[in-house]
Amino acid sequence: MRASTLRALMAAALASAAGHATALQPLADTELAAVRGADGLAFNLQNFSLSGPLTLTYTNPSGSSLWFSNLSLSRSDDPDATFSDPYLLKVASRGGNLADVIRLSEPLNANGLLKWQFAADWGINADGIDFHGGALVVQDLVTRGGSLTLTTPATPGVEGIAFGLALRADIGNLLLRPRGRDDASEQWQLSGIHLGAASDSGVLLGAPWAIADATTQPGIINAVTDANGVSSLHIGIGWPTTAAASPIGGLAIDNIVFKSDALPGGMLDLGSSRIGTMQIQYLDIKLRAGL
């Protein structure tokens, strides 16, 4: 509610209570039409952890399935910034004829103390084969200042969820362990993963990479059906709607190592890897439930 409208209501209420002739009056339609929601919510997670025998399974019509089980998720805290650096959830106006957006902004996490840990067992059941792939483990995931924006598509006749996504992430280790999450005798390990905005020369700028923008290069998640009646889950990012080029991102991996008893010396060290610059000009992915 606008401050002027609130003041008018309070003044009318006080006058009525004091016995003056002025009485409460209904708001005109024009006043009501000018009121819009624009409040937000700030919150943080403290001592957060989640674990247990939870299983997530995707099964296609043929009966094949991909599953993740025994999920474990936790986050460490920054006691000096619990209240000063929260998550922010707010409704924001874009002006014009564009719909408002819901935006979730992450903590800036300048001290890098907000670190996520994740682990899950995974497997595939297909063609009569029940394959247990071991465990996926993510250690010391640090995100800084990214955001997720949700709104409705601006294109007439298009249904679904339009989104924007900005991400800066640093991961201590990303591990695939076929013998289980606690067995490091055999594993594929990516250490020191860094993703974020980059300069034209490929230098990481220490800022989030705008992978999609809800206004100037919106992403889309919806269901589509082709001319043959086949439905698919559609995930896409549209072409930029302005003359500006798509934002540039960069990816650096400090070390890639395969560890196995079958390898000479028990280890294959591939060193570092880097994608100096990358852009998403257009993305169109369709996932079909089955053939």
Give the pLDDT confidence of 58-76 residue by residue, as tens digits: 887 778 899 999 999 999 9
Determine the pLDDT at residue 287.
81
Q: Would you state the structure tokens that stand for residue 13, as one six-digit string?
A: 């209420």
Determine the pLDDT at residue 58.
85
CA angle 284/230/161 to nearest 5° reads 45
- Give the type of residue at 244: A
List Cβ neighbours of 65 (8 Å cut-off, separation of 6 or more): 57, 58, 59, 124, 125, 126
| Secondary structure, 3-state, the chain | CCHHHHHHHHHHHHHHHCCCCCCCCCCCHHHHHCCCCCCEEEECCCCCEEECCCEEEEECCCCCEEEEEEEEEEECCCHHHCCCCCEEEEEECCCCCCCCEEEEECCCCCCCCCCEEEEEEEEEEECCEEEEEEEEEEEEEEECCCEEEEECCCCCCCCCEEEEEEECEEEEEEEEECCCCCCCCCEEEEEEEEEEEECCCCCECCCCEEEEECCCECEEEEEEECCCCCEEEEEEECCCCCCCCCCCEEEEEEEEEEECCCCHHHEEEEEEEEEEEECCCCEEEEEECCC
Determine the pLDDT at residue 208.
98
Determine the pLDDT at residue 19.
45
Determine the pLDDT at residue 33.
62
Determine the pLDDT at residue 231.
80
The ranges of the chain with pLDDT < 70 are 1-25, 27, 29, 31-39, 289-291
